[in-house]
Amino acid sequence: MPDRTIEALLLEDRTFVPPPAFGQTATMRDERVYDEAAKDLEGFWARAAGDLHWFAKWRTVLEWAPPYAKWFVGGRTNIAYNCLDRHVKAGRRTKAAIIWEGEPGDERVLTYGDVLREVSKFANVLKSLGVKRGDRVTIYMPMIPELPIAMLACARIGAPHTVVFGGFSAEALRDRINDAQAKVLITADGGWRRGNIVPLKRNADEALAGTPTIEHVVVVRRVGEAAPIHFQEGRDHWWHRLMADAPAVCEPEPMDSEDLLYILYTSGTTGKPKGIVHTTGGYMVGTYLTTKWIFDLKDDDVFWCTADIGWVTGHSYIVYGPLANGATTVMYEGTPDYPDKDRFWAIVEKYRVNIIYTAPTAIRTFMKWGPQYPARRDLSSLRLLGTVGEPINPEAWIWYHQHIGGGRCPVVDTWWQTETGMILITPLPAITTLKPGSATRPFPGVAAEILNEQGKPVGPNEGGYLVLTKPWPAMLRGIYRDPDRYVQQYWSRYPGVYFTGDGAKRDKDGYFWLLGRVDDVINVAGHRIGTYEVESALVDNPAVAEAAVIGVTHDIKGQAIAAFVTLKEGFTAGAEMVDTLKQHVVKKIGALARPEQILFTGELPKTRSGKIMRRLLRDIAEGRVLGDTTTLADQTVVQALKQRYEEEAG
Ligand code: PRX
């Protein structure tokens, strides 16, 4: 984010009031809701929960013993029932639930009746493979309808799912399967990406060589002849074969509010990804209400969240939130530039999309391509625009508002995390006056604060750490099989307060401005990557003695990965080694973690106690004057490195 410094943000004074039409028709347009929720948090969330179906009502809305929260305690519900049966019973059987567009241009529209039938059948398939309530199921799939069908089938029978993004490598998949100790893997023969095939089953086979808990693999036929696959008799099954004989009725399992719904892995400050745990009742209520109010959902709306379901955004705002609301949700398999750079806008035009939710990195890419691409298409159906994943720079916000929204659509900049499960800081489109670049204010009932090192709230326009001081229903309940890490990671910097890992400031009007991560997490094109993860991948290569990884500012991606590497004796630095190491990281993690730059160095700048000083590496990579170097063991190392970096960067 080139202009995301506090100084630059302070100059941003443009405001956008809600268009009058929104004020008259919006789902939530009463400002008093903020006060009401603040005064009676439990009553507020109980009212939202009351819109949904419960087999047994909760006894207590919230039990809060920091850092452990339980929501809707004693309640029994099923999220798949709420996303499907509830709407079918209310007369929406023939309403489109999922509109799907494949990258090659194929298309499927599944009604609520269709999805209910497919989910019930696949739930029966899972049962026939021995999956029981509580068993974990890993899903490694392209963006095809079978992916949400598989997730909802798991939820229907109470088997927690763990979706692994299709861009992760075989090794990353293997580690996640093993951490979750999954019994079944659901995948596809392949997926389409820019006309090429992503070989999912081949990656899965490689992963399965080291996953002792997997008993069965279900394979969707997506690319067919284009990618013949290996089939292991007894272990591997075609999805369509199993579905052909499956009964179409499957009773939903009444789940306890606090039963595990899913695990989703995300990067943190150590080399090992964290399995974020989400439970049933609170997550359902949180995603339901935020989708309804923030995206101002109306019954006939077509809602398109462009994320991949492999990330939390897709879980909450392609699958659970929209379907819990009975909305029509769009999913698209491919990339925005295939076959041409107007693909997103062609999809908006074709399906008359009303609300689009995408990421700043995508918006900056569209800006670079130029306004002629959206201008080719009829975007008049759009009513509201959303963004998520990283701070949006005001220029990108303005461009989005003007060239995509035609100047008439509010932009909701929504801040949240895998851990929060639901959007927490966001405008409400009929209420909030917008400031480009600001996620504005906490959702009703959400208590956010900005603290300094000492734990004191900072003054207006001062930077600090963003924290959450009260629980919210969709919050994570822990890190899978690692209870200590949960406490240490989120609740130990300020006891009893959730530490987000983000920097922020609040202006004189109380608006929040996010400033990016303050820990060892890099945000590359909206994807979270831990510096230690990339470092472990690099030192795993026999040529590497030591590696330090940092995030550097990037015009399009927000941040890019830069690695400083020391080679072992006998290995030669050079272009070939750069390629080898980039490939190695791709193999260990996936293409999303490929370093943009690798710089070889004889030594890394360290303190006398041997700690690598990443702060100085960041100064070097950003071309800044070096900060305090007095604690360095050897002052010359960093000076030499700076000089080399500048020479190589030209
Ligand atoms: O740094 C914040 C950034 O993305 C991080 C969470 O990443 P992840 O768990 O992968 O979830 C991404 C989608 C919810 C946050 O800690 N982030 C997300 N949304 C915003 C944001 N930063 C600024 N503004 C946002 N709207």
Terminal-residue alpha carbon distance, the chain: 22
Confidence check: pLDDT of 346 > 50: yes
Mean pLDDT computed over 200-206: 98
Compute the average pLDDT of residues 70-95: 98
Looking at the domain 521-649, which fold is it?
GMP Synthetase; Chain A, domain 3 (3.30.300)
pLDDT tops 60 at residue 483: yes
State the maximum Cα–Cα separation within the chain, in Å, rounded to a whole number. 74
What percent of the chain has a predicted confidence (pLDDT) above 70? 98
Query: What's the average model confidence in pLDDT over 20-37?
Result: 94
Q: Which of 48-52, 135-139, 257-261, 606-610 has the lowest mean pLDDT?
A: 606-610
Report percent pLDDT > 90 for the chain.
90
Kindly state the average pLDDT of the residues 230-251: 97
Q: Which pLDDT value is given to residue 139? A: 99
**Which residue has the least CA distance to atom 8 on ligand 1?**
417
User: Which residues are annotated binding-site positions for ATP?
Assistant: 389-391, 413-418, 502, 517, 528
Which of ligand 1's atoms lies nearest the C-alpha of 387? 26
For residue 19, cis peptide bond before it (omega within 30 degrees of 0): no
- Cα dihedral angle (245, 249, 251, 253), rounded to 10 degrees? 50
Backbone region of residue 270 per phi and psi (left: phi > 0; alpha: psi in -120 to 50; beta: other values): beta
- Range with the largest mean pLDDT of 200-209, 267-276, 606-615: 200-209
Please report the pLDDT score of residue 269 as a whole number: 81
Query: Phi first, then psi: what are they for 98, rounded to 5°?
Result: -125, 125
pLDDT of residue 10: 66
Number of C-beta neighbours around residue 339 at 10 A: 13
Parallel/antiparallel/unpaired status of strands 107-111 and 96-101:
antiparallel
- Nearest-CA residue for ligand 1 atom 24 is 391
Nearest to 414 by CA among 393, 451, 384, 442: 442
Reduce the DSSP state of residue 297 to 3 states and report it.
coil
Q: Tell me if 266 CB under 6 Å of ligand 1.
A: yes
159-180 tens-digit pLDDT: 999 999 999 999 999 999 999 9
Confidence of residue 205 (pLDDT cuts 50, 70, 90): very high
Q: Is the pLDDT at 2 greater than 60, yes or no? A: no
Output the pLDDT for position 537: 97
Distance 475 CA to ligand 1 centre (A): 15
Q: Report residue 224: phi and psi, to 5°.
A: 60, -130
Ligand 1 touching residue 316 (CB < 6 A): no
**12 has pLDDT over 90:** no
Residue 1 reports pLDDT greater than 60:
no
Amino acid in position 555: D
183, pLDDT greater than 70: yes
Provide the 10 A C-beta neighbour count for residue 420: 22
Half-sphere exposure of 573 (CA within 13 A, CB side): 12
Number of neighbouring beta carbons within 10 Å of residue 389: 22
Q: Which residues contact 544 (CB under 8 A, 6 or more apart)?
A: 538, 565, 566, 567, 568, 581
Q: Phi, psi at residue 145, to the nearest 5°?
A: -55, -25
Q: Which candidate, 412, 459, 453, places its Cα nearest to that of 431?
A: 412
pLDDT of amino acid 240:
98
Q: From the CB of 361, is ligand 1 less than 6 Å away?
A: no
Decide: 312 in ligand 1 pocket, CB within 6 A. yes
Taking the model in full, what pTM does it have? 0.96
Of 411, 413, 417, the residue with max ligand 1 atoms within 8 A of its CB, to mutate for a pocket test, comes to 417
From the annotation, which residues make up the binding site for Mg(2+)? Answer: 539, 544
Q: State the amino acid at position 83 in one-letter form.
A: C
- Segments in 383-541 forming alpha helices (H): 394-399, 483-491, 531-539
Mean pLDDT, residues 348-358 taken together: 98
CA of 581 to the centre of ligand 1 (A): 28
C-alpha neighbours within 13 Å on the C-beta side of residue 300: 4
Q: What letter represents residue 484's amino acid?
A: D
- 357 in Cβ contact with 301 (< 8 Å): no
Write the residue with the smallest CA distance to atom 23 of ligand 1. Answer: 391
Distance 389 CA to ligand 1 centre (A): 4
Q: From the centroid of its chain, how far is CA 596?
A: 22
Pocket test for ligand 1, best of 527, 528, 592 (most atoms within 8 A of CB): 528
Residue nearest to atom 14 of ligand 1 (CA): 417
Q: Using a 6 Å cutoff on CB, does residue 383 contact ligand 1?
A: no
pLDDT at 635 over 90: no
Quote the mean pLDDT of the chain.
96
Segment 242-283, tens digit of pLDDT: 999 999 999 999 999 999 999 999 998 877 899 999 999 999
pLDDT(297) > 70? yes
Residue 614 above 50 pLDDT?
A: yes
Residue 485 confidence (pLDDT) above 50:
yes
Q: Is 513 in the pocket of ligand 1 (CB under 6 A)?
A: no
- For ligand 1, is residue 308 a contact (CB within 6 Å)? no
State the Cα–Cα distance between residues 303 and 331, nearest whole angstrom.
9
From CA 235, how far away is CA 216, in angstroms rounded?
5
Q: What is the DSSP letter of 226?
A: G
Q: Name, in order, each residue with C-beta under 8 angstroms of 313's C-beta and a sequence gap of 6 or more.
A: 305, 307, 357, 388, 389
Which of 369, 371, 368, 343 has the alpha carbon at shortest distance from 356?
343
Atom of ligand 1 nearest to the CA of 392: 24
Q: Is the CB of 417 under 6 A from ligand 1?
A: yes
Closest CA to 199 of 216, 218, 222, 179: 222
Ligand 1 centroid vs 359 CA: distance in angstroms?
10
Choose one of 9, 308, 416 to mutate for the ligand 1 pocket test, by most ligand atoms within 8 angstroms of C-beta. 416
Residue 514 Cα: closest atom of ligand 1: 23
Note the pLDDT of residue 270: 79
Amino acid 4: pLDDT: 65
Distance 426 CA to ligand 1 centre (A): 12
Ligand 1 pocket, 501 CB below 6 A?
yes
Any ligand 1 atom below 6 A from CB of 391: yes
* Cα Rg of the chain (Å, integer): 24
* pLDDT score, position 649: 72
Number of C-beta neighbours around residue 298 at 10 A: 16
Give binding residues for CoA as ranges: 193-196, 313
Nearest protein Cα to ligand 1, atom 10: 528
Instruction: Write the DSSP symbol of residue 338.
Output: S
Distance (angstroms) between ligand 1 centre and the Cα of 536 equals: 24
Q: What is the pLDDT at residue 648?
A: 81
pLDDT score of 422: 99
Query: Are the C-beta atoms of residues 529 and 561 closer than 8 Å to each other?
Result: yes
Instruction: Provide the sign of the torsion angle of the four alpha carbons 554, 556, 558, 559, taken in this order.
Output: negative
pLDDT (tens digit per residue) in 545-587: 999 999 999 999 999 999 999 999 999 999 999 999 999 999 9
Q: What is the pLDDT of residue 650?
A: 62
Tell me the β-bridge partners of 110.
Answer: 98
